[in-house]
């Protein structure tokens, strides 16, 4: 049986005003359920959104480059988010808020 691919998405915000930040580098790394090492890097778009498409089910970590900003969401200093992705699923709302 073939493994369906899924996607991991989120948004990067500027804290206090909750506007989005474009051009933030976001990294994906981890291991698929089949044991393959997976890694990818994308930039947030003009709406602060990032998308990793074609990701097989597995256990991953998504990290943002803070570029000297302080992470305030999901927790102070938490620049990486663990993501457990089921086969063919969409893991959404893996978001960050940053303060200058």
Could you give the domains of the chain?
A: 5-99 (2.60.40.10)
Ordered per-residue pLDDT tens for the chain, 100 residues: 456 899 999 999 999 898 999 999 999 999 999 999 999 999 999 999 999 999 999 999 999 999 999 999 999 999 999 999 999 999 999 999 999 9
Cis peptide, bond prior to residue 5, ω within 30 of zero:
no
Q: How far is CA 36 from CA 32, 56, 62, in A?
A: 5, 9, 17
Query: pTM above the 0.75 mark?
Result: yes
Contact 93, 51 (CB under 8 A): no
């Amino acid at each position: 049986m073939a493994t369906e691919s899924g996607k991991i998405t989120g948004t990067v915000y500027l804290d206090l005003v909750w506007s989005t930040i474009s051009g933030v580098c976001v990294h994906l790394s981890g291991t698929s359920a089949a044991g393959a090492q997976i890694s990818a890097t994308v930039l947030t778009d003009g709406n602060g959104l990032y998308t990793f498409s074609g990701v097989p089910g597995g256990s991953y970590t998504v990290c943002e480059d803070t570029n000297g900003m302080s992470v305030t969401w999901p927790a102070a200093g938490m620049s990486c988010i663990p993501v457990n992705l089921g086969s063919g699923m969409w893991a959404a709302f893996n978001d960050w808020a940053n303060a200058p």
